[in-house]
Amino acid sequence: MGFQHTNIKPMEPTGLPLDSPTLAEKLKENGYTTHLIGKWHQGHYAQKYLPTNRGFDSFYGLLTGSGNHYTHRRCFLGYCGYDLWNNTTPDFSYKNKRIYSTHLFTKKAAQLIRKHNTKKPMFLLLSLQAVHTPLKVPLKYKELYKNSWIPSGERRRLAGMVSCIDESIGYLITLLKKKMMWKNTIFVFSTDNGGSTIKGSSNWPLRGGKGRYWEGGIRGVGFVYSKLLKRNRIISRQLIHISDWFPTFVRLAGGSLNGTKDLAGYDQWKSISYGTQTKRKEILFNIDSCHYPHGDKLSGTKFDTRIKASIRFGAWKVMTGKQGRGHWLAPHYMKDLTMQDRDPPEKNVWMFNIARDPLERKDLSDAYPQKLRMILDRLAFYNKTAVPCHNPYMDLRADPFANNGVWGPWM
C-alpha cells in the first residue's frame, strides 16, 4: 500500500487502495450487517474512500487519526477543524456538548446492538479513540486512583482512560447478553502497538515503546472470548499478526477469499480455539526504505542493512538501520530498575532469540553470522516486491477553513 514510512496525514490525498475488498466487504457478501464506530484513519480525501463506501453499512466516528476527546476537533500543522461524522455527513449535534469520546462511541454501539435484527449476523468494529493522546478523561475515572501509587499527571489520566474503557466494554457485553447475542458472539479485544513511554505508558520490562521496532513497541496484547472456543482460559504465545484477522473472520463467516489480492495473513482460528500449531512462521514487521540510511552495509547479504527494517523468523528477530534508543524504562516506583540503551550510535544490526530473550538484552548478531544472513535474505526477498513509499505532499485544499470547518473529503 506504500504506507510503510508513516501513517496517513489529514491533508494527504491518499487512502486505503480500492483494488482489493475490505474485511467489511467480504463479510457483507455472507449476509452480515457491518458497522464501524470510532476511528477510521484510512484516508478521506474523496467520498469513495469513506467507510460507508468501503463495505460498512454505517459509520460513526472520526476520519483522522486523533483529536480532542471532548470537542472532537483536530489540529494538524496549524490547521484545525471538527472531526465527528455520521456516515457521510458531519454530526454537529455534539459540537458544544463536550461529551467524552469513549462515552459517545459506547452510546452509539449500544444503539446498534439494541436495534439489531438478530436474524442477521453482525460485524461491529468498535475502534475507540482512547487511549490515544491527548490524554483526557472525566474526573471520576481519574479520582479512582487518587489514593493509589499511580502518580498524578499523565500516568493517572491514562489509568482513568483505561478504567473508562473497561466500564464501557462491560456495559456492551451486558447488552449483548440481554439481547441473547452473547452466546453466539466472537469477541476480540486487541491493541495495535505498544504504549508511548513519553505519554504516560510503560512497557517495562520490555524494551522501547510506540514508534520503535523493539518488543515494547510492536508486541501487542489482546484476548478472544467466545462460547465457540474449544479451549478457554489459556495463554497463547504463538505468532499472530494483525493481518491474520482478515482470513480468520472471513472463514468463520463461511466466506471465501476470492477477489482479494494475495494475503500475508493466515486463518488462525484452529490455533486460537484448539491450540494447534499456527501456520505462521515469520512476521515482517516493516521495511522502511524511505527512512534515511544509517551506518554501513553488512557484507555477505543481499539486504542493505542501512535500511530501517525488522522481521521475526521463528524464535529469532532481526532489526536493521536506525532504530532509535531502546531503553528499558521501568515505572516510577521501580525507576531504579531502568536501564539505558548502551549500544554505539553507529550500530545498525541486531539479532535476538525472542523465545529465550523477550527483553532483548543479548544481541546475538555476531554469535550466529550464518543465521543472521539467512534471515537478512528473507528481508531481501520481501523487499523485492515492496510497494514504493506513498505519502504525497500535503494538499492545502484540505484546510477545514475551506470546508465548512470540518476535516472531510475535499476532492
Q: Are the C-beta atoms of residues 97 and 31 closer than 8 Å to each other?
A: no
Position 337 confidence tier, pLDDT thresholds 50, 70, 90: very high
d(CA 105, CA 264): 31
Q: How many Å separate Cα 48 from the centre of its chain?
A: 23
Residues 6+ apart with CB under 8 A from 45: 12, 13, 14, 15, 395, 398, 409, 410, 411
Residues 6+ apart with CB under 8 A from 158: 131, 135, 199, 200, 201
Q: How far is CA 218 from CA 213, 215, 259, 310, in A?
A: 6, 5, 30, 10
* Predicted pLDDT at 308: 97
Residue range 23-185+227-281+394-402, CATH number: 3.40.720.10
* Predicted pLDDT at 392: 85
* Predicted pLDDT at 98: 93
Task: Give 186-223 pLDDT, tens digit per residue.
Answer: 999 999 899 999 898 999 999 999 999 999 999 988 99
Is 283-385 in the same CATH topology as 23-185+227-281+394-402? no
282-288/308-313 β-pairing: antiparallel
The whole-chain average pLDDT of the chain stands at 94
* Predicted pLDDT at 4: 85
* Predicted pLDDT at 287: 96
Is the model's pLDDT at 240 over the cut of 90? yes
* Predicted pLDDT at 389: 87
- With respect to CATH, is domain 283-385 assigned 3.30.1120.10? yes
Position 261 confidence tier, pLDDT thresholds 50, 70, 90: confident
Task: Give 245-256 pLDDT, tens digit per residue.
Answer: 999 999 999 999
d(CA 29, CA 399): 37
Task: Give 357-389 pLDDT, tens digit per residue.
Answer: 999 999 999 999 999 999 999 999 999 999 888
Establish how many alpha carbons lie within 13 A of residue 362's alpha carbon, considering only the half-sphere containing its beta carbon: 10
Task: Give 312-329 pLDDT, tens digit per residue.
Answer: 999 999 999 999 989 999
Position 6 confidence tier, pLDDT thresholds 50, 70, 90: confident
Is the model's pLDDT at 284 over the cut of 90? yes
d(CA 233, CA 246): 24
C-alpha grid cell, residue 350 = 541486531
* Predicted pLDDT at 338: 92
d(CA 36, CA 55): 10
Q: Are the C-beta atoms of residues 309 and 320 closer than 8 Å to each other?
A: yes
* Predicted pLDDT at 142: 95
What is the rounded average pLDDT of the residues 31-44? 97
Position 335 confidence tier, pLDDT thresholds 50, 70, 90: confident
* Predicted pLDDT at 362: 97
Residues 6+ apart with CB under 8 A from 178: none
d(CA 190, CA 338): 27
d(CA 10, CA 306): 30
Evaluate the omega torsion of the peptide bond into residue 121 and state whether it is cis, within 30 degrees of 0. Answer: no
Domain layout of the chain by residue ranges: 23-185+227-281+394-402, 283-385
* Predicted pLDDT at 331: 85
Is the model's pLDDT at 104 over the cut of 90? yes
Question: From start to end of 169-264, where are the E strands?
Answer: 187-190, 222-225
Task: Give 107-139 pLDDT, tens digit per residue.
Answer: 999 999 999 999 999 999 999 999 999 999 999
> Who has greater pLDDT, 5 or 298?
298
Is the model's pLDDT at 1 over the cut of 80? no
Position 262 confidence tier, pLDDT thresholds 50, 70, 90: confident
Position 274 confidence tier, pLDDT thresholds 50, 70, 90: very high
